[in-house]
Amino acid sequence: MPMTLDASISREFDEWNKTPLGQSLVKQEGEQLEPMLRKIYGPVAVQYGALDFSNYIQSSNAVRRFHSLGHSPQPESKPLSSCLLYSLPESMPFDAKSVNMLILPHVLEFSPDPHQILRESARVLVPEGHLVLLCFNPFSLWGIRKGLGTLVGKHVPSPWHGRFFRLARVKDWLSVLGFDVVQGSAVCFLPPLKSPTLREKFGFLEKAGARWWPMCAAVFILVVRKREIGLTPLMPRWKKKKGIAPGLAEPVTRNG
C-alpha cells in the first residue's frame, strides 16, 4: 500500500498558492504551459495538484478532463471546466492504458513516495501518452531559500517544506520507466520575494536568466512521452531460388 500524503501539508501548499507570490508563479507557469499543452492530442486528460492549477488542464485539447485532489477543497467560487475527483496520485483510480495526458504540477515534491507516482503514471498512460511534470529546482534562488530555512531549524513554510529534486535525477527515474523527453522549459528567475514592488524591480533577471542561466530557474517543466514497449522488429525472410529441389546443391558452371 502506498504511503498517504499528510492533508495538512497539501492544504498548506494550497494556501500558499493563493498568496501574491504563489499567484505570480501560477501565472508564469500557465503562460509557459499553454502552448506546450495545445500541441498534445488525446481524448482523456487528468491533472493532480491544487485547484489553483486548474487553469493548466483547460489549455488541453482533451474532450474529457479530470482534476483530482487528495483532500476536500475549501469552498470554491469559480467553476471548474474539468470533472473533480478525490484520489491520491500514488494510487490512481484509472484503468491501465486509459489516459492520454497526465499533468502533475508540484506533486512529486510533496509526496512521501514520488517513485510510486511515476510508476502509476506509466501504468495509466496509453502507449505514446504524455506526462507533464512541474517541479521546483534545487539549483535556483528558490532552492537557496529552502536551504537557508532548513539550516535555521525552525518550521519551514510552504513551499520550501517539500523536497526539491534535481532535473537529472527526475530524468533518470523517467528513463527507467520507459519515458522519452519531448520538451522542456524553465520558469521564473526572480528570487522568492513577497513584495510585488521588489519583484518588479528585479524584473530584468527574467530575460537575463532565460538567456544566460536557464538551469537556475525556480521551476522546470518536463514533457515526456511513454515509449511503446514490446514491439520486436521483424527481420526479412530471405527467399530461396526457385528451380532447386530441397537438399540438392546448386549447380555451378565450369569454363574451359
Enumerate the β-bridge partners of residue 63.
none
Looking at residue 151, what is its pLDDT?
73
**Residue 217 backbone phi and psi in degrees, to 5:** -70, 155
Query: pLDDT exceeding 70 applies to what percent of the chain?
Result: 80
pLDDT at 41 over 60: yes
pLDDT at 53 over 80: yes
Mean per-residue pLDDT, 207-231 = 89
Q: Give the domain ranges of the chain.
A: 7-226
Looking at residue 8, what is its pLDDT?
72
Burial class (CB in 10 A: 0-12, 13-18, 19+), 200: exposed
Q: What CATH number should be reported for the domain whose range is 7-226? A: 3.40.50.150
Distances (CA, A) of 159 to 2, 76, 173, 195, 233: 23, 22, 23, 17, 47
pLDDT at 30 over 50: yes
- pLDDT category at 23 given cuts 50, 70, 90 is very high
Non-local (6+) Cβ contacts of 206 within 8 A are 188, 189, 190
Looking at residue 221, what is its pLDDT?
98
**How far, in Å, CA of 150 to CA of 145, rounded?**
9
**How far, in Å, CA of 135 to CA of 90, rounded?**
17
Tell me how crowded residue 85 is: count the other CB atoms within 10 A of its CB. Answer: 15
**How far, in Å, CA of 20 to CA of 22, rounded?**
5
* Of 77, 57, 55, nearest in space to 65 by CA: 57
Predicted TM-score (pTM) of the model is: 0.83
